[in-house]
Amino acid sequence: MIRFPARRVTGMAEFFDGYAAEMARAAQSVSREALERAQGAMRDCLDRDGTLFLCGNGGSAAVANHLVCDMAKGMRTDNQLRPRIQSLAGGAEILTAISNDMSYADTFSHQLEGFGRKGDLLITISSSGNSENIVRAVQWARDNGAASIALTGFSGGRSAGLADVNLHVDSQNYGVVEDLHQSLLHALAQFIRLSLMPEALIGQRNF
- Taking only the tens place, the pLDDT of each residue in 95-110 is 999 999 999 999 999 9
Asked whether 126 and 156 are in contact (CB, 8 A), the reply is no
Domain containing residue 89: 50-198
Residue 148 to residue 52: CA distance in whole angstroms: 10
Helix (H, G, I), strand (E, B) or coil at 72: helix
151 within a domain of the structure (yes/no)? yes
Backbone torsions φ then ψ of 56, nearest 5 degrees: -175, 170
Asked whether 83 and 71 are in contact (CB, 8 A), the reply is yes
**Residue 170's pLDDT is what?**
97
Asked whether 20 and 13 are in contact (CB, 8 A), the reply is no
131 within a domain of the structure (yes/no)? yes
143 within a domain of the structure (yes/no)? yes
DSSP letters of 7-31? S--S-HHHHHHHHHHHHHHHHHHS-
* 159 has a pLDDT exceeding 80: yes
71 within a domain of the structure (yes/no)? yes
Tell me how many helices (H) and strands (E) the chain has. 9, 5
**Residue 169's pLDDT is what?**
98
13 within a domain of the structure (yes/no)? no
Number of Cβ within a 10 Å radius of residue 90? 15
2 within a domain of the structure (yes/no)? no
Specify the CATH number for the domain of residue 105. Answer: 3.40.50.10490
- What total of structural domains would you count in the chain? 1
Residue 145 to residue 120: CA distance in whole angstroms: 8
H helix or E strand, kind and range, residue 97 = helix 92-101
Asked whether 76 and 106 are in contact (CB, 8 A), the reply is no
- Taking only the tens place, the pLDDT of each residue in 27-77 is 999 999 999 999 999 999 999 999 999 999 999 999 999 999 888 888 888
67 within a domain of the structure (yes/no)? yes
How many degrees, rounded to 5, is the angle at CA 72 between CA 67 and CA 78? Answer: 120
